[in-house]
Structure 1
Amino acid sequence: MAELKDNKRKLYRKEKAETRKAFKQARFEDDQQISATPSGDESGSNSFSTTTEVDLPRKRFYRQRAHSNPFSDHSLEYPRSPDAMDWTKLYPAYYNEESKDVQSRVEIADIGCGYGGLLINLAAEFPQILCLGMEIRVQVTQYVEDRIIALRNKYKDEPKKNFQNISVLRGNAMKFLPNFFYKGQLSKMFFCFPDPHFKQRKHKARIITNTLLSEYAYVLREGGVVYTITDVEDLHLWMVKHLEEHPMFERLSKDWEKQDKCVQLMWNSTEEGQKVSRNKGNKWVACFKRLPTPEDCE
């Protein structure tokens, strides 16, 4: 029985991988739809139908461990610098024929985006802004990618809700964030329910540290906001302490949080946030503004 389930899972992932490959090979056209299932032609090779809807992925086929060691060698692909990054396959609708590049830059980053719940909500809230999810786990990244492909296909005729402005890539933000983004490129960064790394010897692996905050300040523009939310009070206090101690960040007030739409979105958009709500657990939020760079540091 277990072997049968495993074979079914492998077959499902193979079909989805072929769909992802087909979408990456050609830009997403308004009049084109690609099916999730390959069909054989007379020569015996696989080809993709351009008429069948792409089904939303089923999460049970993408399950894996909740956390991943950020210090491990995950054989990640990353550009040598932001100039070397090719965004055309992630945001094909924004491709510019003259410049041969994407005409806009990513402004919102969801670090450790999980299964993409927040990304989906950000797509509707900021339809003209490019949003990127970064996730280190292979199968979770593939799930989000397949989810976005299906949503783009389903809503392709709705210009205000076609999910062309969001994408996901597998990456380690703790190591390679400046490889993807220019100085001051981002306006918002989200850290939603990150791995708490409870053991003291593991605290160095937390996503908020003094060293990492300097990198976040580099890619975040003046006035940009770092959003944090967790259900672990100790981690909340840790993140607040390090952000308050960093000279480039200033905490925003509770009144500001109450009126900010993004705080409302991240409260219950993620899978983890929904689980905490179901279990009637606590959530702690802290938002920090990126301060102007001192003149002597420019």
Structure 2
Amino acid sequence: MAKRKRNLQQSDNSAITLLPQKKHYRQRAHANPFSDHSLDYPSSPQNINWATHYPAYANTEKLPEFADVGCGFGGLLITLAPLFPDTLMLGMEIRVQVSQYVQDRISALRVTTTSDDSSPHYQNVSIVRANAMKFLPNYFTKHSLSSLFFLFPDPHFKSRKHKARIISPTLLAEYAYALRPGGIVYTITDVKDLHEWMKSHLEAFPLFESVDEEALRAEGKGLIIDAVYTSTEEGKKVERNGGDKWFAGFRRIEVARQ
């Protein structure tokens, strides 16, 4: 028993040593999605070698089912990965330092996390540095996603900046393409105006229908919703400051309703 305790302590110390520290990856809070960033992106989803992202699943035909757009420091991905070990998840983040942090964090967790079973931990989560407003269809095939997350996106407060908001009629067509019928779009923000903006645009789009939080929890999505509320750096900051969080969920429907 004492030997096992020492081994666990050594494992904990290794994890502390290997896990990256955010202070070494800091940069501006937001990036201009219309700028010409130096990005490498695939010409189509079929040209992606997913084995480099999920080596433990190299001999399977699995594709990412959860996509976290603007994943920040990866809090949602890291929380959901062990809860849904058979679901591949991909974060998309435009900021180079932040995306590098998430990549390093995942790599460290893969080698430091121990388990009593033989299941590979954090092998089901990965990240790409990408501008989702321009290149999301380059990563996801039609109806391949079951969950799409937009957590605390840049509010772009000024009216002339609203075109840069991640929810818009044009972009919703791309999200509907990637999301399978029955799939869920999860949004949350601490800015009520942005919440109303996202909600009104999703309600107006013919391939999405609103589904309230209680209904989603009744469908067994409580673990996901809890993570949406609490797992991100932004969400934790709102809690510390005593702010409000505005949640909305939308289901991808099969056809436009008359």
Same fold (TM over 0.5): yes
Question: 1:293: Cα distance to partner?
Answer: 2.9
- Gaps of at least 5 residues in structure 1 are 1-51, 97-101
Q: In the alignment, residue 100 of structure 2 is paired with which amino acid?
A: Q
Once the two structures are superposed, residues 104-135 of structure 1 have per-residue CA deviations (whole angstroms, 9 ceiling, x without a partner) of 11100000000011001110111001000000
Q: In the alignment, residue 148 of structure 1 is paired with which amino acid?
A: I
Name which of 254, 263, 276 aligns with 2:225: 263
Q: In the alignment, residue 37 of structure 2 is paired with which amino acid?
A: H
8 A Cα contact 1:174 1:207, kept in partner: yes
Task: Measure the CA separation in 2 of the matches of 1:258 and 1:162.
Answer: 26
8 A Cα contact 1:124 1:161, kept in partner: no
Name which of 32, 37, 57 aligns with 2:20: 57
Task: Measure the CA separation in 2 of the matches of 1:127 and 1:237.
Answer: 34
Task: Measure the CA separation in 1 of the matches of 2:164 and 2:86.
Answer: 34
Task: Measure the CA separation in 1 of the matches of 2:118 and 2:28.
Answer: 36
- Give the corresponding residue for 1:179: 138
Name which of 82, 86, 104 aligns with 2:49: 86
Does residue 109 of structure 2 align to residue 146 of structure 1? no
Q: In the alignment, residue 122 of structure 2 is paired with which amino acid?
A: F
Identity %: 58
> Taking structure 1 as reference, are residues 122 and 203 closer, same or farther at Cα in structure 2, changes over 3 Å only?
same
Does residue 247 of structure 2 align to residue 285 of structure 1? yes
Q: How many residues align?
A: 239
Does residue 186 of structure 2 align to residue 224 of structure 1? no
- Give the corresponding residue for 1:236: 195
Name which of 60, 65, 89 aligns with 1:107: 65
Question: Computing the radius of gyration over CA atoms, which structure comes out larger, 1 or 2?
Answer: 1
Q: Which 4+ stretches in 1 moved above 4 angstroms?
A: none
Name which of 147, 167, 190 aligns with 1:208: 167
TM-score by length of 1: 0.77
Does residue 215 of structure 2 align to residue 253 of structure 1? no
Name which of 31, 35, 43 aligns with 1:72: 35
**Greater relative CO (CA pairs within 8 A, separation 6+):** 2
Q: In the alignment, residue 202 of structure 2 is paired with which amino acid?
A: L
- Give the corresponding residue for 1:24: none
Question: 1:156: Cα distance to partner?
Answer: 5.5
8 A Cα contact 1:123 1:161, kept in partner: no
Task: Measure the CA separation in 2 of the matches of 1:160 and 1:95.
Answer: 15
- Give the corresponding residue for 1:15: none
- Give the corresponding residue for 1:11: none
Name which of 127, 136, 152 aligns with 2:85: 127
- Give the corresponding residue for 1:166: 125
Q: In the alignment, residue 34 of structure 2 is paired with which amino acid?
A: F
SS of equivalent residue, structure 1 residue 110: strand
Question: 1:294: Cα distance to partner?
Answer: 5.0
- Give the corresponding residue for 2:7: none
Write out aligned runs for 1:12-23 (5 A).
none
SS of equivalent residue, structure 2 residue 81: helix
8 A Cα contact 1:155 1:161, kept in partner: no
- Gaps of at least 5 residues in structure 2 are 1-13
Does residue 148 of structure 2 align to residue 192 of structure 1? no
Report which stretch shifted further, 186-195 or 148-157.
Answer: 148-157
Does residue 234 of structure 2 align to residue 276 of structure 1? no
